[in-house]
Structure formats: C-alpha cells, structure tokens
C-alpha cells in the first residue's frame, strides 16, 4: 500500500503531484509548465474581464482547492458524468489501475459551479490546470451552465478521447471491480466515489449511475 498525500493548494504549488509521478516512472506523460500556461491562457487570458466560473462534477465539488466567492448548483447539457479515465497514479497503480470521472458526450450532468474572483483568476486557474491537466487527459472548454439564478458560462473539463487512458466502453460491473481494488498516492478509488456521492447528496443532487456503482461494491457484485 503506497503512502498518500493531500491534494491541497500548497502541494500543488510545490509541484508534488508531478514529482511523485516522475518518481513512479510517469515523467514522459506529464505536461510541462509552458504547455499548461498556454492552455489556460488560450481559454482564459491574463486580462480576462468577465465573470469566471468553474464547473465541478467530481472531486472538484468536495475539494476544489480554490477559494470561490460564490457557489451554485448547475446543470449542463450535452455531457454525462462517467468513469472513463484510467488512473495509474492518483487513484490507482500500475498493478491495480483505478478510474476517475470525466464528462463524455451525451445526456446531462448536475454539479456545482464555483465563481472565482476575476482579479485572482489567473493564479487560481493555474493551480487548477496543474491539478486537472497534469497529463492532458481533459480538454478545457467554456460551456453553458443552467442554474436557478440563470445561465452562466463555465470552465468545464471534458474527457480527451485521444488520451491513452481514455476508456471508450466499460461495463458497470468492470467499473465497480476496478474501483474496489485501486489505490494511488491521492487515496483509494472508493474514497473518490463515496465522497462524490456524499457531496452530491449534500447539495440535494443525485446520480443514479454513481449510486449503482456504490451498491455493486458494497455487495461485491462484479458480474
């Protein structure tokens, strides 16, 4: 069982995620600082003047690491939350790969939007990019979020279908089995699932797909 570290602002600033990844032989999979900065600036330039919102649909809900000035429950259309990204680092290992969530095409997704102080947006978003875009497994986009207070434009990380760890099709039984066995330097894949479900329920939101996976793991139903 490998030791875990906390996913927090300081550890991201100190580049501990990439240091651990390099130590475990994943150095060639990582995006460098210049690539990360260019990616963020392409979507949100340093002189951006409009409101900046970030959409959380997985661990960003229960551990955003940023300091938002407002939160809203939102719904996006055209993408659904799905376990479709294999994790051999943060929530898994080479021997027992885990899975983390991505947004795949189709359906809709409920989650939480975080409003970031526009003046601090470059600094806050650079932290998010060093966390979410560490291997380029996601594609950052601006999508419309629908909330009780109206529509907002949000930064959303959708799955990169060209990434080598993207899983196009995986059954719920196989998904549950992989989650049940996996642990990485950020903790277990089960913890990631349980905290996401708990956070959604606390917001008054539900995801039947995640709840079915929980039930399979609890009952050891992997067939």
Kindly list the catalytic residues: 132
In angstroms and rounded to an integer, the radius of gyration of the C-alpha atoms of the chain is 17
Residues making up the chain, counted from first to last = 223
Task: Name the DSSP letter for residue 30.
Answer: P
* Spatial contact of 140 and 185, defined as CB atoms under 8 Å apart: no
**Closest Cα partner for 48 from 98, 150, 121?**
121
Comparing CA positions, the residue from 122, 94, 83, 125 lying closest to residue 29 is 94
Give Cα separations from 206 to 61, 177, 203, 211 (angstroms). Answer: 13, 22, 9, 8
CA torsion sign for 192, 76, 79, 130 is negative
């Amino acid at each position: 069982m490998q030791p875990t570290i906390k996913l927090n602002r300081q550890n991201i600033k100190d580049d501990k995620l990439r240091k651990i990844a390099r130590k475990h032989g994943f150095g060639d999979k990582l995006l460098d600082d210049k690539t990360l900065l260019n990616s963020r600036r392409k979507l949100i330039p340093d002189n951006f003047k409009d409101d900046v919102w970030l959409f959380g649909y997985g661990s960003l809900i229960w551990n955003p690491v940023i300091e938002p000035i407002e939160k809203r429950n939102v719904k996006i259309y055209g993408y659904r939350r799905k376990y479709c990204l294999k994790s051999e680092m943060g929530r898994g290992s080479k021997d027992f790969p885990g899975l983390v969530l991505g947004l795949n095409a189709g359906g809709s997704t409920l989650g939480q939007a975080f409003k970031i102080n526009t003046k601090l947006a470059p600094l806050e978003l650079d932290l998010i990019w060093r966390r979410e875009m560490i291997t380029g497994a996601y594609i950052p986009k601006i999508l419309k979020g629908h909330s009780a207070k109206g529509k907002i434009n949000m930064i959303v990380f959708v799955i990169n279908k060209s990434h080598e760890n993207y899983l196009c099709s995986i059954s719920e039984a196989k998904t549950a089995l992989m989650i049940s066995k996996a642990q990485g330097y950020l903790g277990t894949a089960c913890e990631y699932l349980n905290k996401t479900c708990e956070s959604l329920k606390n917001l008054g939101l539900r995801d039947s797909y995640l709840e079915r996976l929980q039930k399979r793991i609890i009952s050891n139903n992997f067939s």
